[in-house]
């Protein structure tokens, strides 16, 4: 069939589809255009031709090569084509048809009939609002047009300011870069056990891009080999972004491996960071007494005088523990130790108990000694009196003065 014949069929199909109510299937033509109708030879195999019945009863035969694909018309669209001409071309009729389309989730068809309502009644408020209009200064204006007047532009289905779009685009680009770093580090980690290990090590040690921090933090968290963990720690310390410092600080307190914790502290101590100090200070209030003492040890190495007050408060901390009860024993408690609470008395009850203990923290005391050159043991009140005296202007306190 000639090119002009294909064009004619496409034009004829378009005219038929536009002028007749559609039903059945949609035949997408390879030469362009669409034809709607009912396929009369659905069982023909192999397919040589499509015999299509148009809505008015006419038939058209298409060679198989002329049809790119056949799209089934959904039942609700078939129903729509059957009923839409039964609604009168009035405000009430078109509004009712628009509501029916809404119930069937035929939103593009609904808009067609809402637009017709507005043509018939320009002040139909419900139709206007359904189409996205707002009344501003007595005039109906589409929300998108109003937003454009305010300097907003469409972006991924929403109206946004150019500044918002710039931020979102920068975020998208940043996420793509970070994703690439995840892939690179994962690939280099795989090389560490092969003949490429020296290349992988140089690549990881040479990372300077802050965008790699998230991938490095994730890699450190899941890594189990000590030498590889140390490599990640070294690289994070060199980059030194707030996120990197936060990860090193948390690892210095929470990692189960003592060597890993100390390695993090070694790097943090070389270049004390206010964010790290603030994190360690916050962890002096941990419910876990081990974390309290590790935070104190870290603060002693940071040598930041701002930690003295919080350390004094953490000299003796209160913690709760669950113990197994013994129905044959009674428990007594008496005051007397440094920082201990008031005397107490309780009978064993046979079940688990929650016991409150006031614990002197040796690591806190040692950190205070390092920072101040003083030692008032676990006498919190003595430490506080001394600290208050040092803060007077005439004292000239520098945090480490003897």
Angle at Cα 245 formed by Cα 239 and Cα 250, nearest 5°?
140
pLDDT tens-digit readout, 212-261: 999 999 999 999 999 999 999 999 999 999 999 999 999 999 999 999 99
In a domain, 188, yes or no: no
Structure tokens at 261: 């914790």
Domain that holds residue 117: 78-150
* pLDDT for res 213: 97
Q: Are 237 and 268 in contact (CB under 8 A)?
A: yes
| CATH code: domain of residue 48 | 2.30.30.100
Distance of CA 291 to the CA centre of its chain: 29
Mind giving me the DSSP string for 114-132?
Answer: HHHHHHH-TT-HHHHHHTT
* pLDDT for res 15: 42
* pLDDT for res 4: 42
Q: Determine if the pTM surpasses 0.85.
A: no
In a domain, 38, yes or no: yes
DSSP annotation of 363: H
Give the position of tokens 């209030």.
Answer: 285
pLDDT tens-digit readout, 26-42: 888 988 888 888 888 88
Q: Are 327 and 349 in contact (CB under 8 A)?
A: yes
Task: Please provide residue 371's backbone torsions phi and psi, each rounded to the nearest 5 degrees.
Answer: -80, -25
DSSP annotation of 74: P
* pLDDT for res 3: 46
* pLDDT for res 325: 60
Cβ neighbors of 192 (< 8 A, separation 6 or more) are 200, 201, 228
In a domain, 44, yes or no: yes
| CATH code: domain of residue 93 | 1.25.40.10
Question: What letters, b where the CB count within 10 A reaches 16 and e where it falls short, cover 214-235?
Answer: bbbbbbbeebeeeebbbbbbeb
pLDDT tens-digit readout, 132-184: 888 877 888 877 777 777 778 788 878 788 888 889 999 999 999 999 999 99
CB 250: neighbour CB atoms within 10 A? 16
* pLDDT for res 329: 52
Give the whole-angstrom CA distance, residue 99 versus residue 113.
9
Q: Are 202 and 235 in contact (CB under 8 A)?
A: no
In a domain, 34, yes or no: yes
Cβ neighbors of 337 (< 8 A, separation 6 or more) are 358, 360
* pLDDT for res 397: 56
Give the position of tokens 């806190």.
Answer: 364
In a domain, 346, yes or no: no
* pLDDT for res 235: 97
Give the position of tokens 């040479």.
Answer: 206
* 13, 65: one domain: yes
Listed residues 73, 108, 134: the one ending a domain: 73
Give the position of tokens 């688990």.
Answer: 352
* pLDDT for res 121: 94
Q: Which stretches in the chain have pLDDT values below 70?
A: 1-23, 325-350, 393-402
Listed residues 150, 167, 187: the one ending a domain: 150
């Amino acid at each position: 069939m000639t090119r002009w014949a294909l064009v004619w069929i496409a034009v004829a199909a378009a005219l038929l589809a536009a002028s007749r109510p559609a039903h059945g299937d949609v035949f997408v033509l390879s030469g362009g255009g669409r034809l709607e109708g009912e396929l009369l030879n659905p069982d023909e195999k192999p397919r040589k031709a499509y015999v299509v019945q148009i809505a008015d009863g006419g038939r058209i035969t298409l060679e198989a090569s002329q049809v790119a694909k056949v799209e089934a018309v959904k039942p609700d669209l078939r129903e729509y084509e059957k009923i839409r001409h039964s609604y009168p071309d009035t405000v009430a009729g078109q509004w009712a048809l628009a509501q029916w389309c809404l119930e069937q989730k035929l939103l593009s068809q609904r808009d067609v009939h809402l637009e017709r309502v507005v043509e018939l009644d320009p002040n139909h408020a419900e139709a206007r609002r359904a189409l996205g209009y707002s009344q501003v200064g007595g005039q109906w204006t589409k929300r998108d047009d109003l937003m454009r007047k305010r300097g907003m532009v469409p972006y991924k289905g929403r109206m946004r300011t150019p500044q918002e779009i710039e931020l979102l685009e920068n975020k998208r680009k940043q996420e793509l870069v970070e994703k690439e770093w995840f892939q690179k580090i994962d690939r280099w980690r795989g090389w560490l056990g092969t003949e490429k290990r020296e290349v992988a090590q140089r690549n990881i040690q040479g990372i300077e891009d802050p965008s790699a921090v998230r991938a490095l933090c994730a890699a450190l968290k899941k890594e189990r080999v000590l030498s590889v963990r140390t490599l990640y720690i070294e690289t994070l310390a060199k980059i030194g972004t707030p996120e990197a410092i936060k990860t090193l600080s948390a690892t210095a307190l929470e990692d189960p491996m003592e060597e890993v914790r100390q390695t993090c502290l070694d790097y943090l101590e070389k270049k004390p960071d206010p964010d790290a100090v603030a994190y360690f200070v916050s962890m002096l209030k941990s419910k876990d007494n081990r974390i309290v003492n590790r935070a104190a040890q870290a603060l002693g190495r940071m040598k930041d005088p701002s930690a003295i007050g919080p350390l004094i408060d953490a000299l003796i901390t209160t913690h709760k523990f669950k113990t197994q009860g013994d129905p044959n024993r009674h428990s007594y408690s008496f005051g007397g130790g440094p920082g201990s609470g008031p005397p107490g008395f309780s009978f064993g009850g046979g079940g688990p108990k929650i016991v409150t203990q006031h614990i002197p923290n040796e690591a806190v005391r040692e950190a205070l000694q390092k920072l101040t050159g003083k030692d008032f043991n676990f006498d919190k009140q003595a430490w506080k009196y001394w600290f208050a005296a040092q803060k007077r202007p005439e004292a000239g306190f520098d945090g480490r003065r003897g």
